[in-house]
A and B are shown apart, each in its own frame.
Chain A
Amino acid sequence: MSQTQGLIPCSEAVAKLWDYLDNAVAPQDQEKVERHLSFCRACCGELEFAKELRAFLASTGAEEIPEDVKAGLERFVQEM
């Protein structure tokens, strides 16, 4: 019997990767994803990229505020 028998297809594994990283998949799905990843190098690449994209989004979250906008909002608070 082939070791890869019963593996979920790449499309299914990729579709679950972000939920997998969010710990939002059911335990049986988690096992299916991990088993798929242990055999599939391409999907490991997908996983690493998903991690990097998440970190990138989180790092883009903070934002500077233009001085005039900040001053305007502070003035708004003082006058409301």
Chain B
Amino acid sequence: MTGSVRTSEVVASDRTKDAFLRLVAPQLPSLYGLARRLVRDGAEDLVQEALLQAYRSFGSLREDAATSRWLKTILVNVFRDDLRRRGREVEEVPVAGLEEFSLYRTLVEVDPMPYSDTMHHDFLIAFGREDVREVLMRLPEIYRAPLVLKYMDGFSTKEIARLLDAPLGTILARLHRGRRRFEREMWTYAEESNLLAGRADR
């Protein structure tokens, strides 16, 4: 009897894990993508920890359709806890001239692609996925995370405040500063990496 109970337990557990894997496998690209937008190194470790925690709370997933958001939420929780453990949630010192910076205006004034009729658009499409990631990595985590979650992964500001365990006003302020920082870093990165070379005469 004991043997058959053991066997059925093993089978049940295997089936649960199979079901889990079937459910999460299609989500791995977006989960890994989110992890790579949040951290410079260790994206795979972050996904692994999220998967481990997700598997432990597999029973709390009410409907399969919610898998993507459920997994991303767990991943952000792991990221936040890790950030806290490493004491990285430090407010950054103000950056001079940041409030006055406008990428739109800088492009008009510098005119880096004089032959382009659609310069602002051309500037953006010069950035490949890895370029965008590099720009994100130049932002302190406190600004990067809200920006990524809001504008790249579609979380609402309220959800972000809850996930990052910060007051709504703090998240709104970080989004504001983060957007400015992101635009300025886009410009700095484009200049430093010669990103627009070869596009200037198109």
Binding site for B on A (CB under 8 A): 11, 14-15, 18-19, 22, 24, 42, 45-46, 48-50, 52-54, 56-58, 60-65, 69-70, 72-74, 76-78, 80
Given contact pairs A53-B124, A77-B17, A77-B51, A69 touches B152 in the complex (Cβ within 8 A)? no
A-B contact list, 12 entries, CB within 8 Å = A49-B104, A58-B151, A60-B127, A61-B30, A64-B33, A65-B28, A65-B32, A73-B48, A77-B17, A77-B24, A77-B55, A80-B55
Mark each residue of chain B from 43 to 62: 1 if its CB lies under 8 Å from any CB of chain A, else 0. 01001100110010000000
> Mask for B155-175, Cβ within 8 A of A = 1, else 0?
001000000000000001001
Q: Which of B2-10, B80-88, B95-103 forms part of the interface with chain A? A: B95-103
| CB-CB under 8 A for A49 and B120, given A19-B176, A57-B152, A78-B21 | yes
Contact check, A76 vs B29: say whether CB atoms are below 8 A apart.
no
Cβ-closest chain A residue relative to B150: A22
User: Is B154 a contact partner of A18 (Cβ separation < 8 A)?
Assistant: no
Interface string of B116-157 (1 = CB under 8 A from A): 000011001101010010000000000000000001111001
Closest Cβ of chain B to A26, distance in Å, is: 12
Sample of 9 further A-B pairs with CB below 8 A, known A45-B120, A69-B44? A11-B99, A22-B157, A53-B183, A61-B30, A69-B32, A72-B44, A74-B25, A76-B51, A78-B21
In the bound complex, how far is the Cα of B26 from the Cα of A70, in angstroms?
A: 10
* Chain B contacts for A42, CB-based, 8 A: 105
A73, chain B: closest CB distance, angstroms:
6
- Interchain nearest-CB distance for B184 vs A (Å): 13
The smallest C-beta distance from A2 to any residue of chain B, in angstroms, reads 25
* B20 interface contact, C-beta 8 A: yes
Are the CB atoms of A19 and B172 closer together than 8 Å? yes
Q: Within 8 Å CB of B176, what residues of A?
A: 15, 18-19
Leading 5 A-B pairs by shortest Cβ distance? A63-B33, A61-B152, A65-B29, A49-B104, A57-B151
Contact partner of B132 (CB less than 8 A), chosen from A19, A52, A60, is: A60
Bound-state CA distance A48–B179 (Å) is 15
Alpha-carbon separation in the docked complex, A78 to B12 (Å): 14
For the complex formed, measure the closest distance between the CB of B154 and the CB atoms of chain A, giving whole angstroms: 7
Residues of B within 8 A of A46 (CB): 102, 104-105
Give the CA-CA distance A49 to B175 in the complex, in Å.
Answer: 17
Query: B residues within 8 A CB of A57?
Result: 132, 151-152
Tell me how far the C-beta of B73 lies from the nearest C-beta in chain A, rounded to whole angstroms: 16
- CB-nearest residue of chain B to A66: B32
CA distance A18 to B20 in the complex (A): 39
